[in-house]
C-alpha cells in the first residue's frame, strides 16, 4: 500500500495529550493525522460501560491539573467539557468519626480541632506555604523545560529561573531545596502533630510512584498534586461530567472541529526513518502514512524501543531510556453498586461522600502497605482513594444506583513471581480491596452488581501504559523538568530528527493536565519546526 496523503504531523496515540497536541496543531492550520490503537480515544482518560447504565472512569477518575489556558484555547466548554469540583476530602476511621476537610476554612478548622487545636490553627498556613512553592513551580509547568545543558541558546529562560529562585529569598530557597529532597512525612512532621491528619495529606506524595510516605523526594510529589488547579486558583479536584472520558471526547471534538483527522483501531507498529530522520509510520495492519514530523503520544520506552528500534539510537541514549523508571505501583477497582454504601463512622448520605475518600488511617498503615510491595506483593491493607462520582454526576449510573472508583496502592507491577503472575492474582487483589472497604462500610459487598479489576499488567496490556505506570514514568525528582525523560532531550525533541514526544513521559509529566501536548505543539509552531 502506498501513502496517498502527506501530513504535516502524525500523532501516535490518542490519549488526552496526543489529542491536545493535535487540536493545537490543527488550529494553527497544519494537516494533522492522529492514530489510536484502541477502539476509543482517551488512553488513561476514558469512560467505559461494562454493565448497562454504569459508566466507569476506568483509569483516571478526578481532574485537577488540566490547564485552564487549554480549556480556553480549545473552547472545551463549547465541546461539552464540564468539570464539577469535589466537595471535600473525607478520611474515614475505624474508631471515631473520621476527618473531613472542606474548602470552607471554618468547617475544616472545626474538624481538625477535634484531633489537634494546634494543627487546626496551623493548617491554613501550610496551604499558604505550599501555595508560594506552587507559584514558583507553576510557570515552569507551562514553559518548555529549562535546559541547562544547552545554556547559551536558552540563556533568557535559565536567567528567569535564577531570578525566580532568588525571589524566594534565602529561607524560601532553603524550603524549596528541602521540599525537593525530603519525604512527605518529614515535611508534614514539621508542621503537624496529628497522625490522622498527616496520613491522608501524605498520600498525595506517593500516588503513581513506587515510594513510601517516608521515602525521600515524596514531598515534591505531594506539592505536584497540591498544585492541581481548577478555575485558575487553588481548588479541590473535580469530576468531569459523564466520566473522565468526557475530557478526551471534548478535546477530540475540538481537534476535529479544527480539521484534525482521527483514526481509531489504528495501531502503529513502526515509526519509519530515513537517514536518522522520522518520515512516517507503519500500522500493524500494514497501512502507511507519511508526514513532516511524527509526534509520539506514547511513553518513551514504547516510542524508542518498540516504534523506532534500539538499532537507530546511540548507546548512551539507549542506556538513558533503559534507566528511565516506570515501576507501576497501583491498580484500580471499579464497582457498580445497587445502593449507596454507608460508612459506619459517618452514616447517611451527606456531602462528605461527594469528595474523595481516603483509606489512610495512619502513617504506619501507609508505610506497612509499602513494605509489602517492596517484597513483591500487593498490600494486604492498601491505601485506597475512593470516589462515588454518581452522587455528584447522576449521568454515570441509573437513578438510585451508584458507581464507585477505587484507586489502589500498592499493586507492584513486579510481583515476586513476575508480572505475569498478576493473571492469577487479579481476583485475590480485587477481593482484598473489597474486604478493606467492607471494614469501613459494612454491607458494601452485598451491594456490588459488577466489578472491574485493573492490575498494573492490565494497565500495560489494555491501555498501553508501560509497566503499568500511570504517569508514563515515575514522577520522581530525577525524572522531572529538564531531565524528563532524559538529560538533554527534555524539550519534546528526540535524537531522531522530526520525531517528537508530547505525552506524560515529557515535561511536565503525567496527570490529566494536557501540558506536554500543548507545550510540544507550541514549541513546534513557535520555533518553526512545522
Ligand X SMILES: Cc1cc2nc3c(=O)[nH]c(=O)nc-3n(C[C@H](O)[C@H](O)[C@H](O)COP(=O)(O)OP(=O)(O)OC[C@H]3O[C@@H](n4cnc5c(N)ncnc54)[C@H](O)[C@@H]3O)c2cc1C
Binding site for another protein (CB under 8 A): 68-69, 71-72, 77, 82, 84-85, 87, 103-104, 106-107, 131, 135, 231-234, 241, 349, 351, 354, 391-395, 399-400
For residue 252, how far is the Cα from the chain centroid?
Answer: 19
Q: Which does 15 bind (CB under 5 to 8 A by kind): another protein, ligand X, none?
A: ligand X
Q: How far is the CB of 63 from another protein (least distance, A)?
A: 12
Q: Which does 104 bind (CB under 5 to 8 A by kind): another protein, ligand X, none?
A: another protein
Residues of this chain, 379-438, that bind ligand X according to CB under 6 A: 407
Q: Does 511 bind ligand X (CB under 6 A)?
A: yes
Q: How far is the CB of 462 from ligand X (least distance, A)?
A: 8
Residues of this chain, 48-67, that bind ligand X according to CB under 6 A: 59-63, 65
Q: Which does 258 bind (CB under 5 to 8 A by kind): ligand X, another protein, none?
A: none
Query: Considering beta carbons, is residue 12 or 203 the nearer one to ligand X?
Result: 12
Please answer whether residues 378 and 397 qualify as being in contact, where contact means their C-beta atoms are separated by less than 8 angstroms: no
Please answer whether residues 332 and 58 qualify as being in contact, where contact means their C-beta atoms are separated by less than 8 angstroms: yes
Q: Which does 493 bind (CB under 5 to 8 A by kind): another protein, ligand X, none?
A: none
Query: Considering beta carbons, is residue 143 or 362 the nearer one to another protein?
Result: 143
Query: Considering beta carbons, is residue 131 or 148 the nearer one to another protein?
Result: 131
Q: Which does 395 bind (CB under 5 to 8 A by kind): ligand X, another protein, none?
A: another protein
Grid-cell match 487553588, residue found: 234
Q: Which does 432 bind (CB under 5 to 8 A by kind): ligand X, another protein, none?
A: none
| Site stretch for ligand X (CB under 6 A), options 38-46, 151-159, 256-264, 416-424 | 38-46
Cis upstream peptide for 155 (omega within 30°): no
Which three cell numbers mark 474? 515515575
CA–CA gap between residue 158 and residue 390 (Å, rounded): 46
Which three cell numbers mark 325? 523508571
Residues of this chain, 247-276, that bind ligand X according to CB under 6 A: 267-268
Q: Which residues of 239-262 are buried (b: 16+ CB within 10 A; e: fewer)?
A: bbbbbbbbbbbbbbbbbbebebbb
CA–CA gap between residue 321 and residue 35 (Å, rounded): 24
Among 43, 144, 146, 355, binds ligand X (CB under 6 A): 43
Q: Which does 403 bind (CB under 5 to 8 A by kind): ligand X, another protein, none?
A: none
Q: What angle do CA 76, 77, 79 make, to 5 degrees?
A: 60
CA–CA gap between residue 321 and residue 495 (Å, rounded): 12
Cα distances from 320 to residues 315, 327, 479, in angstroms, run 9, 16, 11
Residues of this chain, 300-339, that bind ligand X according to CB under 6 A: 332
Query: Considering beta carbons, is residue 354 or 405 the nearer one to another protein?
Result: 354
**H/E run at residue 21:** helix 16-27
Q: What phi-psi label fits residue 35: left (phi over 0), alpha (psi between -120 and 50 degrees) or beta?
A: beta
CA–CA gap between residue 451 and residue 260 (Å, rounded): 36
Q: How far is the CB of 243 from another protein (least distance, A)?
A: 12
Residues of this chain, 2-31, that bind ligand X according to CB under 6 A: 12-18
CA–CA gap between residue 468 and residue 410 (Å, rounded): 12
**H/E run at residue 71:** helix 68-73
Q: Which does 131 bind (CB under 5 to 8 A by kind): ligand X, another protein, none?
A: another protein
Q: How far is the CB of 98 from another protein (least distance, A)?
A: 20
Query: Where do runs of H (alpha helix) occur along 324-463?
Result: 363-374, 422-440, 444-447, 456-463
User: By the criterion CB under 6 A, which residues form the site for ligand X?
Assistant: 12-18, 35-38, 43-45, 59-63, 65, 267-268, 297-298, 332, 407, 459, 463-465, 470-472, 503-504, 510-512
Amino acid at each position: 500500500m502506498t501513502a496517498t496523503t502527506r501530513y504535516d504531523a502524525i500523532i501516535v496515540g490518542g490519549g488526552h495529550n496526543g489529542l491536545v497536541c493535535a487540536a493545537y496543531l490543527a488550529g494553527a492550520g497544519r494537516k494533522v493525522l492522529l492514530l489510536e490503537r484502541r477502539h476509543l480515544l482517551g488512553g488513561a482518560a476514558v469512560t467505559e460501560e461494562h454493565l448497562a447504565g454504569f459508566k466507569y472512569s476506568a483509569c483516571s477518575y478526578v481532574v485537577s491539573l488540566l490547564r485552564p489556558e487549554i480549556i480556553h484555547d480549545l473552547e472545551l466548554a463549547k465541546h461539552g467539557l464540564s468539570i464539577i469540583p469535589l466537595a471535600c476530602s473525607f478520611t474515614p476511621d475505624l474508631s471515631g468519626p473520621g476527618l473531613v476537610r472542606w474548602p470552607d476554612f471554618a468547617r475544616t478548622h472545626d474538624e481538625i480541632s477535634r484531633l489537634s487545636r494546634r494543627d487546626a490553627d496551623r493548617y491554613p498556613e501550610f496551604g499558604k506555604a505550599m501555595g508560594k512553592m506552587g507559584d514558583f513551580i507553576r510557570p515552569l509547568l507551562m514553559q518548555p523545560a529549562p535546559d541547562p545543558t544547552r545554556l547559551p541558546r536558552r540563556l533568557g529562560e535559565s536567567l528567569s529561573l535564577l531570578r525566580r529562585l532568588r525571589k524566594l529569598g534565602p529561607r524560601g530557597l532553603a524550603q524549596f531545596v528541602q521540599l525537593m529532597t525530603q519525604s512527605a512525612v518529614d515535611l508534614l512532621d514539621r508542621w503537624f502533630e496529628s497522625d490522622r491528619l498527616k496520613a491522608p495529606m501524605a498520600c498525595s506524595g506517593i500516588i503513581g510512584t513506587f515510594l513510601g510516605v517516608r521515602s525521600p523526594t515524596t514531598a515534591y510529589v505531594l506539592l505536584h498534586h497540591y498544585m492541581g488547579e481548577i478555575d485558575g486558583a487553588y481548588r479541590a479536584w473535580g469530576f468531569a461530567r459523564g466520566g473522565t472520558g468526557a475530557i478526551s471526547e471534548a478535546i477530540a471534538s475540538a481537534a476535529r472541529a479544527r480539521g484534525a483527522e482521527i483514526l481509531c483501531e489504528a495501531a502503529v507498529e513502526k515509526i519509519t526513518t530515513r537517514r536518522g530522520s522520522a518520515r512516517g509510520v507503519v500500522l500493524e495492519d500494514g497501512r502507511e502514512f507519511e508526514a513532516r514530523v511524527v509526534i509520539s503520544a506514547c511513553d518513551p520506552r514504547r516510542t524508542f524501543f518498540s516504534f523506532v528500534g534500539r538499532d537507530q539510537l546511540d548507546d548512551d541514549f539507549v542506556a538513558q531510556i533503559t534507566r528511565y523508571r516506570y515501576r507501576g505501583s497501583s491498580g484500580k477497582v471499579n464497582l457498580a453498586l445497587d445502593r449507596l454504601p454507608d460508612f459506619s463512622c459517618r452514616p447517611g448520605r451527606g456531602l462528605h461522600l461527594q469528595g474523595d475518600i481516603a483509606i489512610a488511617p495512619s502513617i504506619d498503615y501507609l508505610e506497612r502497605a509499602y513494605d509489602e510491595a517492596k517484597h513483591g506483593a500487593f498490600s494486604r491493607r492498601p491505601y485506597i482513594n475512593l470516589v462515588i462520582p454518581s452522587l455528584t454526576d447522576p449521568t454515570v449510573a441509573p437513578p438510585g444506583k451508584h458507581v464507585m472508583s477505587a484507586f489502589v496502592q500498592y499493586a507492584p507491577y513486579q510481583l515476586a513471581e513476575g508480572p505475569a503472575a498478576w493473571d492469577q492474582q487479579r481476583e485475590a487483589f480485587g477481593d482484598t480491596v473489597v474486604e478493606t472497604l467492607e471494614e469501613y462500610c459494612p454491607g458494601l459487598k452485598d451491594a456490588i452488581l459488577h466489578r472491574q479489576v485493573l492490575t498494573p499488567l492490565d494497565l500495560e496490556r489494555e491501555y498501553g501504559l508501560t509497566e503499568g505506570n500511570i504517569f508514563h514514568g515515575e514522577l520522581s525528582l530525577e525524572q522531572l523538568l529538564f531531565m524528563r525523560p532524559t538529560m538533554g532531550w527534555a524539550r519534546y525533541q528526540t535524537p531522531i530528527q522530526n520525531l517528537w514526544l508530547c505525552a506524560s513521559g515529557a515535561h511536565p509529566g503525567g496527570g490529566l493536565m494536557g501540558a506536554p501536548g500543548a507545550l510540544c505543539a507550541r514549541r513546534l509552531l513557535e520555533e518553526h519546526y512545522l
